[in-house]
C-alpha cells in the first residue's frame, strides 16, 4: 500500500506520478541490494509511486556492473509480488561504454531499431516486467550541447541515427504495449522540437517527458526549453535538484563526508562542485537556515514547484537522506524564501551550468 503524496499526470497520458521520483543510479555502486530494497520500501510507504532507472546504471559507469541497478529493482519487485501500482521508467543509451547488449567492436550502441529493441528487452528481463510505463532516450546520439558541454558550432560529418528512425522504433514499442509512454533526456530545444514535429507530421508516438538537469545552480532549462515544455505539454523530470548533493551544504569549506559521491569519485566534480559554485552554495544554504528549512528540502521543493515540472528525481545513499528528499514533495516554500532565492539567482545565475 502506497502512502500519500501529491501526484501529477504525465502530459498527454493517463499516467499519474508522484511529484517525487525515486532515482536509482547509486544502486550497485554506492548502495548494496539490501540498501536499494530499503530505499524502495521507504519511498513507496511514503507515497512515491515513480521509480526511474537506466540500462547503464549504476553511475559512475562500470562495464562489469551495468544492469545491476535494474536487477536490484527486479529482485525487490519479485519479493514484493506486485508491480501495477508503480510507474517504472528506464532509458536506452548510445555509448561505447554499453555492455548490456552487443555493439560493433570498438564502436558504440546507437538509436536504431535493432539497438532500441535489444535495449528494452534487456531492461524488461532485468526488471522482471513485461512493460515499462515510460521509456526514455538517455541523451542525444548526435553531437550537441549536453552534460555541460558548450561551444557546439558545427554539424560536419554528422553520422547519427536520424531522429525519425529512433522515434519510429519507439512508436513500435508503444503499439506493442511494451512501453506506455516515451520521453527524452539531456535533450536540447531543437531536439525536443524535432521529436514533436516528426510525431505530428509522420503520425508517430509523441514524447511526453524530458528528463534534464534542473537545480538552483543550473536553471538553463528556462532558456528555450521551459517555453516548449509549457506550450507543447512536455513535462520536465528534473534530475540533480541538489546538484549531485552539493546544495545540501555537505561539501562546504572543503568538507569530504565519508561515503559521499565527491569524496569517492572525481567524476563530474568540475560540473557540479567546482570552486566557483562554493560561495553560491553558501548563499542558498544560508537562505534555508534563515527560514529554518533543511537546505536539501528547500532545493528540491523549489524544483518541484516550477510550472513546467512533472516530477523531481531524488537519489540518496542512506534512508535518512531519502526521508528529507521525499518530504520536499509535500512542502511549499514560503513567499519570503522564494524572494530571497530570486534575488540570489539574479546575482549568481547558473554557476553550475
Tell me if residue 42 is catalytic: no
Indicate whether 273 belongs to any domain.
yes
Indicate whether 159 belongs to any domain.
yes
Q: Residue 298: what pLDDT?
A: 98
pLDDT 10s digits, 95-110: 888 888 876 566 789 9
Please choose, from the candidates 169, 182, 201, the residue with its C-alpha nearest in 3D space to the C-alpha of residue 132: 182
Return d(Cα 104, Cα 258) in angstroms, integer: 40
Residue of 42, 57, 135, 251 marked active site: 57
The secondary structure of residue 46, as a DSSP letter, is T
Cβ atoms within 10 Å, residue 61: 17
Cβ atoms within 10 Å, residue 256: 11
Indicate whether 239 belongs to any domain.
yes
Give the number of domains in the chain: 1
Indicate whether 352 belongs to any domain.
no
What CATH number is attached to the domain comprising 276?
Answer: 3.20.20.100
Return d(Cα 194, Cα 167) in angstroms, integer: 10
Expressed as residue numbers, the domain containing 76 is 7-347
Question: Can you give the C-alpha Rg of the chain in angstroms?
Answer: 19
pTM, rounded to two decimals: 0.95
Indicate whether 353 belongs to any domain.
no
* Strand duo 179-185 + 20-23: pairing: unpaired
Return d(Cα 240, Cα 59) in angstroms, integer: 13
Q: Is the pLDDT of residue 57 over 60?
A: yes
Indicate whether 31 belongs to any domain.
yes
Indicate whether 161 belongs to any domain.
yes
Q: Is the pLDDT of residue 227 over 70?
A: yes
pLDDT 10s digits, 23-39: 999 999 999 999 999 99
Return d(Cα 298, Cα 283) in angstroms, integer: 13
Q: How many residues does the chain have?
A: 353
Q: Where are the alpha helices (DSSP H) in the chain?
A: 33-45, 68-80, 113-127, 163-176, 189-202, 225-232, 261-264, 269-272, 278-290, 295-305, 319-327, 335-347
Q: Residue 269: what pLDDT?
A: 64
Indicate whether 1 belongs to any domain.
no
Return d(Cα 57, Cα 90) in angstroms, integer: 10
Amino acid at each position: 500500500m502506497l502512502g500519500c503524496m501529491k501526484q501529477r499526470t504525465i502530459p498527454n497520458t493517463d499516467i499519474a506520478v508522484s511529484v517525487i521520483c525515486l532515482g536509482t543510479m547509486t544502486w550497485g555502486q554506492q548502495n548494496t541490494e539490501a540498501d536499494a530494497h530499503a530505499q524502495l520500501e521507504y519511498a513507496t510507504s511514503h507515497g512515491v509511486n515513480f521509480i526511474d532507472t537506466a540500462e547503464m546504471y549504476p553511475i559512475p559507469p562500470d562495464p562489469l556492473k551495468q544492469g545491476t541497478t535494474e536487477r536490484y529493482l527486479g529482485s525487490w519487485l519479485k519479493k514484493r509480488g506486485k508491480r501495477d501500482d508503480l510507474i517504472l521508467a528506464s532509458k536506452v543509451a548510445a555509448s561505447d561504454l554499453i555492455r548490456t547488449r552487443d555493439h560493433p567492436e570498438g564502436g558504440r550502441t546507437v538509436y536504431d531499431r535493432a539497438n532500441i529493441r535489444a535495449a528494452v528487452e534487456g531492461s524488461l528481463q532485468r526488471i522482471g516486467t513485461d512493460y515499462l510505463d515510460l521509456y526514455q532516450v538517455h541523451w542525444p546520439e548526435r553531437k550537441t550541447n549536453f552534460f555541460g558541454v558548450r561551444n557546439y558550432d558545427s554539424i560536419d560529418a554528422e553520422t547519427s541515427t536520424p531522429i525519425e528512425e529512433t522515434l519510429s522504433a519507439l512508436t513500435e514499442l508503444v503499439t506493442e504495449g511494451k512501453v506506455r509512454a516515451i520521453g527524452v533526456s539531456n535533450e536540447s530545444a531543437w531536439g525536443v522540437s524535432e521529436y514533436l514535429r516528426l510525431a505530428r507530421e509522420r503520425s508517430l508516438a509523441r514524447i511526453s517527458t524530458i528528463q534534464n538537469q534542473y537545480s538552483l545552480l543550473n536553471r538553463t532549462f528556462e532558456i528555450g526549453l521551459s517555453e516548449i515544455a509549457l506550450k507543447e505539454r512536455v513535462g520536465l523530470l528534473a534530475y540533480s535538484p541538489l546538484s549531485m548533493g552539493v546544495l545540501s551544504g555537505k561539501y562546504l569549506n572543503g568538507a569530504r563526508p565519508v561515503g559521499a559521491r565527491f569524496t569517492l569519485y572525481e567524476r563530474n566534480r568540475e560540473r557540479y562542485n567546482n570552486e566557483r559554485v562554493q560561495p553560491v552554495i553558501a548563499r542558498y544554504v544560508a537562505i534555508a537556515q534563515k527560514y529554518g528549512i533543511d537546505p536539501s528540502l528547500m532545493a528540491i521543493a523549489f524544483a518541484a514547484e516550477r510550472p513546467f515540472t512533472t516530477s523531481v528525481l531524488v537519489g540518496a545513499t542512506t534512508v535518512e537522506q531519502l526521508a528529507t528528499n521525499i518530504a520536499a514533495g509535500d512542502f511549499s516554500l514560503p513567499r519570503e524564501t522564494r524572494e530571497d532565492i530570486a534575488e540570489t539567482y539574479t546575482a549568481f545565475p547558473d554557476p553550475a551550468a
